Structure 1
């Protein structure tokens, strides 16, 4: 879906811009391609530059509770330095390398409730206006998909996903926010944990998998969170069901160190040891259930998968423009 808006700072006779992304499965670390279509206005205009911003809706925790806003996580110029004649139609190709930590927005075609966008800024004769917004859909990397599928096979269920502002201490995180995929526990762990959160921090050499468990309290103890992480390579071939179940056992048993399974891969960022969230903060008798893709699809059909701030994933497609434009209006005020 494309959101167009006339360049208000240039008046009714100004040029318009329409960014169209190529169809296909964009993934973290891949190249995003498309075309920036320009239509000249009532007069000739000098196009100083065409800049693209990758933006995300992010939640932030603070003393007064939670709030959400828009964060720009990449910005680059894709063209400019030419004159656009009155009424002229011109297309400028775009090719953008997505950050490796770009959040995933869908799994097997089902939205997770994450809102990402590509915003185009056109600078004309010194005037600027963020004038076009397109929804950005990101599919998981193969290793991310394999891990999520294994979690589904082991009986974990998808609850929601969101983007949290801040950094996870001790990791190689580069973006100013991280993605949390919240899962209900598999039956064999339900008596020990309330919820599992999964974060992927990918890089060119591999990926960190950060796992956090909201552990249940006992008769004489309060509940608490435990966190651990593991390193995997982009092309690792493993028995992922066995591997991931081992991770979960280690997490639940609170051996919060860089796991023994990490030896099969490598640390993509050169970090090790203990860590935690926030500077701002094989069960042989288990019968595998449906994969995570099936779980997400079922949730989308009946359980309002991906609910964030009252917006379900299906509605995010129609309301992304209103959300971002609302943020821009507040900035202008």
Structure 2
């Protein structure tokens, strides 16, 4: 028994914690349901407390920036007996304005089991934050038009999350790439769409601000037809549109942080100037440049350890 206690203090045969969630993918604003399971080890141990951290990781050029979104404390101390199983319910309503998961953005629940006089135990549970239903319909409509989302999509510049799509059929040859940023409101979605049109100078960037109301977003075929017409007009009359990302952001920044559906609004609220400067410094060191609107989108392909 003495040997078992000694080994438990070193983490061998000690108590463990496991956060069990009902699934791995969630839409922003959705409620997560699960349970927190504490499993006793070979000997009885005192549990000081349990903390569950919900964190977001932004992958920069040289490092990963981690931010604590919310902490869920279970600070009532208790004794876990050998091989005992203790289960606590867990629920959490996700913020509605989270950045969506992508190659440079990821989310994890990290559970900390604080064991008295022993090595603590941790549990990591990554989750994927998907687009809310109305934005998913925009993705579906673009897919119907032959667009596929690029790996580099969903980058974040501290203000806006950008979505990038490549044409594969209908508009292939007419445009090189379609990009957009979005602000989701109760009655619809504001979008700034950019299409890169091939030209003798390389490409011409045409930007157009549009608004899709909920009634249109509910109609799959009509939404697809509307987006098809919008893109076709941008290709045929590029000089008719003169919008830019900076103006789009400043038109809505007063409502950005308090809007319930601003994609990136949550992150824009906690990203400090110092953090943005670090991100830019890392990115520029890699030879990247800010875009013509003065907003920078960084990306990274590293994996989280």
TM-score, L = length of structure 2: 0.62
> Can you give the 5+ residue segments of structure 2 that lack an aligned partner in the other structure?
1-7, 245-251, 257-290
Partner of 2:23: 23
Task: Give me the whole-angstrom Cα distance separating, in 2, the residues matched to 1:126 and 1:204.
Answer: 51
Contact 1:167 1:278 in 2 (8 A): no
State the 1:78 CA deviation. 4.8
Structure 1 pair 11/157, CA: closer, same or farther in 2 (3 Å)? Answer: closer
1:243 maps to which of 204, 226, 237: 226
Does the 8 Å CA contact 1:119/1:130 hold for their aligned counterparts? no
Determine if contact 1:39/1:89 at 8 Å carries over to the other structure: yes
Query: How has the CA–CA distance of structure 1 residues 115 and 25 changed in structure 2, closer, same or farther, with 3 Å as cutoff?
Result: closer
Structure ranking higher in helix proportion: 2
Q: 1:38 to 1:74 in 2, by over 3 A?
A: same
Alignment of 1:196-211 (within 5 A): 196-202=178-184, 207-211=189-193
One of 296, 301, 304 as aligned partner of 1:309: 301
- Aligned to 1:182, which of 164, 182, 205? 164
Aligned length: 249
Inter-partner Cα distance in structure 2 for 1:10 and 1:163: 42
For the pair 1:101 / 2:84, whether they are aligned, the reply is: no
Distance 1:91 1:70, change over 3 A: farther
1:160–1:181: 8 Å Cα contact kept in structure 2? no
| Higher Rg | 2
Task: Give the corresponding residue for 1:49.
Answer: 50
SS at match of 1:26: strand
Task: Give the alignment of 1:288-303 within 5 angstroms.
Answer: none
* Cα-Cα RMSD: 4.2
Q: 1:195 aligns with which of 171, 177, 181?
A: 177
Which runs of no fewer than 5 residues in structure 1 stay unpaired? 1-7, 61-65, 107-111, 259-266, 282-307, 311-322, 327-333
Match of 1:305 in 2: none
Assess, with a 3 A threshold, how the Cα gap between structure 1 residues 270 and 74 changes in structure 2: closer, same or farther. Answer: closer
CA positional deviation for 1:22:
0.7
The alignment's TM-score, normalised by the length of structure 1, stands at 0.58
2:267 paired residue number: none
d(CA) in 2 for partners of 1:128, 1:193 = 57
Contact 2:11 2:120 in 1 (8 A): no
Distance change in 2, residues 1:242/1:162 (3 Å)? closer
How far the C-alpha of 1:148 sits from its partner, in A, is 1.2
Cα shift at 1:75 = 2.0
**1:245 offset after TM fit, Å?**
2.4
